[in-house]
Amino acid sequence: MFSVEKYSESYKHLWNNFIAKSKNATFLFYRDFIEYHNDRFHDFSLLVFKDEVLIAIFPANKDKNSVCSHQGLTYGGIILSEGITFNDTLLAYKELLKFLHKKNVKELHLKLLPKIYHTLPSDELQYLLFKTKAQVTRTDVTSVIEAKYKLPIQSSNRKRGLKKALSQNLEVKEVDDFKDFWNKILIPNLKKAHQVVPVHSLSEITQLKSNFQKHIRQFNVYNNDKIVAGATVFDTKHVAHVQYISANADKQKLGSLDFLFDYLINNIFKTKKYFDFGISNINQGQQINEGLLSWKESFGARTIVHEFYRVETKNYVELNSVFV
């Protein structure tokens, strides 16, 4: 009844249609997003069928002798059809593990989709990971505002920053061109502070924008027509996720980031269920940048987690005796 197939180009249309109707997916799982950096990863995405009907997919890549939730994506896990039952989820997961075990893949590494992105309850996998003796390998903390229960801003720094901004002739504009933000703000700041470059190059984020016009949005702050700050937002069904945040050296003097996030939270994304500032972890989740976390919390954001697991594929046999 159940079968597993490795993804190929012939499945692209089926895959994308499934994502559009899934109960726990975002635009990051469409093939045009997954494949923008195909040169960096050995794709090993899988599809699970029941009676030739697609019921689950797994965006993944192979890394040495392991298969992982796609390492080029912020989150992952097993993506499920809207109407799937617990029993079918169990059997799909079991078949996936069995398929990998037969391919001599010893370990499956999963990073789960945070619950704020779910359209319907989708926690089946957490139970199944428990039953298959999965081990937690990493936990990141991300800072989120829930619109329905938004906390009032009590931080004196945020209030002062906004007051400064309102007297500085600042303006927020949504733009389609990422060049100014990348070249004048983001790249110089990341190089100076961390000696790194953005995860997405300018050409990559530009290409992604062309493929996902409504989902990838750039907001810049200008002071007398000069860019002074910006944020790149991944806009999904339930969540506005800030992918990049950066400002020039005058951010304290101008209050540019306070102005920008007050505008985004209370105007542009006020009807979203969640506003996600992203993680504050470093060193593979082992430590937290305290200043960054405190800054996010000063807007009223509070913590949820990104969970990472490792499971031995041979443990699919542990699912033989779940039901009584």
Per-residue confidence band for 215, with pLDDT thresholds at 50, 70 and 90: very high
Q: What pLDDT digit, counting tens, does each position of 47-73 carry? A: 999 999 999 999 999 998 899 999 999
Do 50 and 11 touch, CB atoms closer than 8 A? no
- Quote the pLDDT of residue 4: 98
State yes or no: pLDDT of 86 exceeds 90: yes
CA dist., res. 243 & res. 237, Å (int): 16
| Residue type (1 letter), 99 | F
Q: What pLDDT digit, counting tens, does each position of 299-310 carry? A: 999 999 999 999
Average of per-residue pLDDT across 17-25: 98
Name the token pair of 75.
Answer: 């989150």
Strands 239-247 and 66-69: unpaired
- Quote the pLDDT of residue 139: 97
Q: What pLDDT digit, counting tens, does each position of 109-138 carry? A: 999 999 999 999 999 999 999 999 999 999
Beta-sheet strand order (sheet of 2-6): 2-6, 46-50, 53-58, 79-80
How close are the terminal C-alpha atoms of the chain, in Å? 21
CA dist., res. 129 & res. 107, Å (int): 13
| Domains by residue range for the chain, with CATH | 2-140+306-321 (3.40.630.30), 152-268 (3.40.630.30)
- Quote the pLDDT of residue 193: 86
pTM comes to 0.95
As a whole number, the mean pLDDT across the chain is: 96
Q: How far is CA 29 from CA 61, 242, 244, 292, in A?
A: 13, 17, 19, 28
Average of per-residue pLDDT across 180-207: 95
Q: Sign (positive/negative) of CA torsion 154, 160, 166, 171?
A: negative
Contacts of 93 by beta carbon, 8 Å cutoff, 6+ apart: 56, 78, 125, 128, 132, 319
> What is the 3-class SS of the chain, one letter each residue?
CEEEEECCHHHHHHHHHHHHHCCCCCHHHCHHHHHHHHHHCEECCEEEEECCEEEEEECEEEECCEEEECCCCCCECCEECCCCCHHHHHHHHHHHHHHHHHCCCCEEEEEECCHHHCCCCCCHHHHHHHHCCCEEEEEEEEEEEEHHHCCCCCCHHHHHHHHHHHCCCEEEEEECCCHHHHHHHHHHHHHHHHCCCCCCCHHHHHHHHHHCCCCEEEEEEEECCEEEEEEEEEECCCEEEEEEEEECCCHHHHCHHHHHHHHHHHHHCCCCCEEEEEECEECCCCEECHHHHHHHHCCCCEEEEEEEEEEEHHHHHHHHHCCC
CA dist., res. 213 & res. 174, Å (int): 12
Q: What pLDDT digit, counting tens, does each position of 126-184 carry? A: 999 999 999 999 999 999 999 999 998 889 999 999 999 989 889 999 999 999 999 99
Per-residue confidence band for 39, with pLDDT thresholds at 50, 70 and 90: confident
Query: Length of the chain in residues, anyone?
Result: 324
CA dist., res. 237 & res. 47, Å (int): 23
Q: Sign (positive/negative) of CA torsion 11, 16, 19, 25?
A: positive
- Quote the pLDDT of residue 194: 86
